């Protein structure tokens, strides 16, 4: 048993209880702050003030909204499945809290005389546990839409299902590169691996090897997938108010609605925390403060919270700056861009890592194969790009245009002349001059002349 495993497995039960309560309180208070923080950020970006009236700097506004939801009537529409209707928000809320059990909030500290770590537990596959719990949380959305017995709610839950399948694949593949580079799936060991000096092509650079820089394509794909995973703009398809009212949460109110609202903001903090842990050095201080006295003990919790808050700020920034995309555009981005790019990047990274381990860089055959692979990937990307739009046809000014040829009135192009038609007494259309005068008089009297 290694020293790290001893720290995690030998905690007294009361230390574990303190950690559980501490994480629960931290997430609740952090969510209240993030609701206020996002509203202030959106206000600044939209040239308004945001909440400023209740409490200092308006901090009491989010707390008041939460208390109002707890005291509001918990209404349930008729013809809904009562058990599933109540189970759905609880499942989503529990999954939101459970992911934080394996996220390291800090390094070794002393808590009431006991040496421990600011992490509830760790597992050899801790990073995959976070992904699995996130998938379970989406069952709450599906159950909410199905139990509501409403069209908009059901459509919202179906959108959530397709969306999470698409973007969890892209998000999971973006983590494969991290596992390959770190050689582990343990969250605490991945954080420790990012403190090692950067090693590129045999050269050592005395800087922390944050995977957000070394594995930039994986970091970019994970960041984009964050919005699809958390239903945030521009990917808030399951509850877009312009189409589905509120989607899967249309029929929820009171405490059950508060659970969905709480889970949404905790999920944003969760994906931001995973991003910080796997790509941005975790709870360690950035260079040049890495390894100094401000990078030890309880300072780690401060750095972790600061990094996650910066990530949350960027999510709010995107919400204010990027409009909602169409559903087909979102699915096309996930399946035709992010997933193929991830697979190509993983293969390229495996070749580079294998060459570094086995010394293949001196082999001209390997160099040629690598160049051919990169050229093939570039060619595929180039060929799969959008097709050029055809040039607009120039209308013939002398040609006559039948506006009703397809059965529906179509406006003429510039320079085209309309064909004047009349409806005969038998109901057929003929150009002016072909129909008899009586037919024209008949159609005119009936108001059917075109």
What is the spatial distance between Cα 152 and Cα 220, in angstroms, rounded to a whole number? 33
Q: Is the pLDDT of residue 72 over 60?
A: yes
Establish how many alpha carbons lie within 13 A of residue 377's alpha carbon, considering only the half-sphere containing its beta carbon.
16
Residue 407, number of CB atoms within 10 A of its CB: 6
Coil/strand/helix, residue 250: coil
For 282-324, the pLDDT digits (tens) are 888 887 777 778 878 888 889 999 999 999 999 989 888 888 8
The residues near 293 (Cβ < 8 Å, ≥ 6 apart) are: 299
Instruction: Convert the pLDDT of each residue in 379-392 to its tens digit.
Output: 776 776 556 666 65
Q: Is the distance from CB of 114 to CB of 15 less than 8 angstroms?
A: yes
The pLDDT confidence band at residue 161, using thresholds 50, 70 and 90, is: confident
Q: What is the pLDDT of residue 450?
A: 36
Q: Tokens in use for 6?
A: 């001893």
Is the pLDDT at 205 greater than 50? The verdict is yes
User: What's the length of the chain?
Assistant: 450
Give strand pairing partners of 115: 110
> In terms of Cα–Cα distance, which of 315, 312, 128 is closest to 235?
315
pLDDT bucket at 444, cuts 50 / 70 / 90: very low
Tokens of 32: 């209240």
The maximal CA–CA distance of the chain, rounded, in angstroms, is: 108
Instruction: Report the alpha-carbon distance of residue 178 to residue 165 in Å, rounded.
Output: 21
Q: What is the pLDDT of residue 398?
A: 59
Separation of CA 274 from chain center: 13
How far apart CA 195 and CA 291 sit, in angstroms, is 9
CA distance 126 to 104: 10
Q: Which of 87, 236, 228 is nearest to 148 (CA)?
A: 87
- Residue 357 CB-density burial (10 A; 0-12 exposed, 13-18 middle, 19+ buried): exposed
Alpha-carbon distance of 25 to 91, in angstroms, equals 19
Joined together, the tokens standing for residue 199 give: 């090693």
What phi and psi, each to the nearest 5 degrees, are found at residue 445? -65, -30
Angle subtended by helix axes 254-279 and 299-321, to nearest 10: 110
pTM: 0.77
Structure-block tokens of residue 105? 């909030």
pLDDT (0 to 100) of residue 314: 92
Whether the pLDDT of residue 420 is over 80: the answer is no
Taking all residues of the chain, what is their mean pLDDT, rounded to a whole number? 78
The DSSP call for residue 238 is: G
| Per-residue model confidence (pLDDT) at position 2 | 43
At 399, is the secondary structure helix, strand, or coil?
Answer: coil
The C-alpha atoms of residue 422 and residue 323 are separated, in whole angstroms, by 47
Q: List, as own/partner pairs, every contact residues 293-297 make where C-beta atoms lie below 8 angstroms and the sequence separation is at least 24, other chains included.
A: 296/107, 297/106, 297/107, 297/108, 297/109
Domain chopping of the chain, boundaries:
3-325, 400-446
């Amino acid at each position: 048993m290694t020293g790290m495993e001893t720290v995690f497995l030998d905690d007294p039960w009361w230390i574990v209880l303190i950690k559980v309560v501490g994480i629960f309180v931290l997430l609740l208070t952090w969510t209240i702050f993030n609701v206020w923080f996002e509203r202030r950020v959106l206000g600044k970006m939209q040239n308004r003030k945001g909440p400023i009236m209740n409490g200092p700097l308006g901090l009491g506004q989010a707390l008041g909204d939460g208390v109002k939801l707890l005291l509001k009537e918990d209404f349930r529409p008729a013809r809904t499945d009562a058990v599933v209707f109540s189970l759905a928000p609880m499942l989503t809320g529990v999954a939101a809290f459970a992911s934080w059990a394996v996220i390291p909030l800090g390094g070794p500290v002393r808590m009431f005389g006991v040496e421990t770590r600011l992490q509830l537990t760790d597992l050899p596959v801790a990073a995959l546990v976070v992904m699995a719990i996130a998938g379970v949380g989406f069952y709450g959305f599906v159950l909410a839409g199905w139990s509501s017995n409403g069209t908009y709610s059901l459509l919202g839950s179906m959108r959530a299902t397709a969306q999470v399948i698409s973007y969890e694949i892209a998000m999971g593949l973006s983590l494969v590169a991290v596992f390959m580079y770190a050689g582990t799936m343990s969250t605490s060991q991945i954080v420790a691996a990012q403190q090692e000096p950067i090693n590129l092509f045999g050269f050592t650079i005395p800087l922390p090897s944050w995977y957000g820089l070394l594995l930039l394509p994986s970091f970019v794909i994970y960041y984009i997938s964050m919005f699809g995973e958390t239903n945030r703009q521009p990917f808030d398809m399951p509850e877009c108010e312009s189409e589905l009212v509120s989607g899967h949460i249309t029929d929820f109110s009171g405490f059950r609605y508060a659970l969905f609202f709480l889970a949404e903001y905790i999920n944003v903090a969760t994906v931001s925390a995973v991003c910080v842990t796997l790509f941005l050095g975790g709870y360690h201080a950035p260079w040049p403060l890495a390894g100094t006295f401000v990078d030890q003990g309880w300072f780690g919790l401060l750095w972790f919270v600061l990094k996650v808050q910066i990530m949350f700020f960027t999510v709010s920034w995107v919400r204010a700056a990027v409009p909602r995309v169409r559903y087909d555009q979102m699915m096309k981005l996930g399946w035709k861009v992010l997933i193929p790019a991830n697979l190509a990047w993983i293969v390229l990274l495996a070749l580079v890592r294998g060459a570094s381990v086995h010394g293949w860089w001196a082999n001209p055959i390997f160099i040629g194969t690598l160049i051919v692979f990169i050229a093939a990937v570039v060619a595929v990307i180039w060929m799969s790009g959008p097709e050029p739009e055809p040039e607009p046809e120039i209308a013939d000014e002398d040609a006559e245009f039948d506006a009703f040829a397809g059965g529906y009135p179509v406006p003429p192009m510039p320079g085209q002349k309309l064909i004047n038609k009349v409806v005969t007494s038998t109901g057929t259309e003929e150009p002016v001059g072909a129909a008899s005068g009586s037919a024209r008089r008949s159609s005119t009297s009936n108001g059917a002349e075109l």
